[in-house]
Amino acid sequence: EAQVPAATLTAAPARIVAAPSRRRKGVVIRDPESESTTSTIIPAETKSKDKGKRILRKPQTEAQARKNMIMYLKNVAGFKMDYFKGMYNDDIRLIFEAKFNSNVAFLLKTKEHIEEDENRALQKLNET
């Protein structure tokens, strides 16, 4: 019989490389028995930081206010633009406040008041 030489295998120790992990700074190991305090810790409220990145609105100028009032009166009350030429802001403001207040008062009326007004108007028409 032929002898087959036996191969000797030498196993090299396997290298185990640990994945790099973040170092933790300030890790303290404490004994849970020594820490038997029953005080509760209330977390402080974090204040929101204003970074100043928002766009602040500028206050409205008199010319812008005048233009807005004229546009309102033109669209809602039916005034023409020529009517306001040569008028002062105070005069325009008086007209604007009168029309605006009448519109707000109308919107605040309930349906009952509107129906009562319609009934009165119909009665006046029937009388004539």
Mean of the pLDDT values across residues 63-83?
A: 93
Q: What is the pLDDT of residues 19-70, one digit of tens each?
A: 566 666 666 677 666 655 555 666 666 677 767 777 888 999 999 999 999 9
SS (H, E, C) the chain: CCCCCCCCCCCCCCCCCCCCCCCCCCCCCCCCCCCCCCCCCCCCCCCCCCCCCCCCCCCCCHHHHHHHHHHHHHHHHCCCHHHHCCCCHHHHHHHHHHHHHHHHHHHHCCHHHHHHHHHHHHHHHHHC
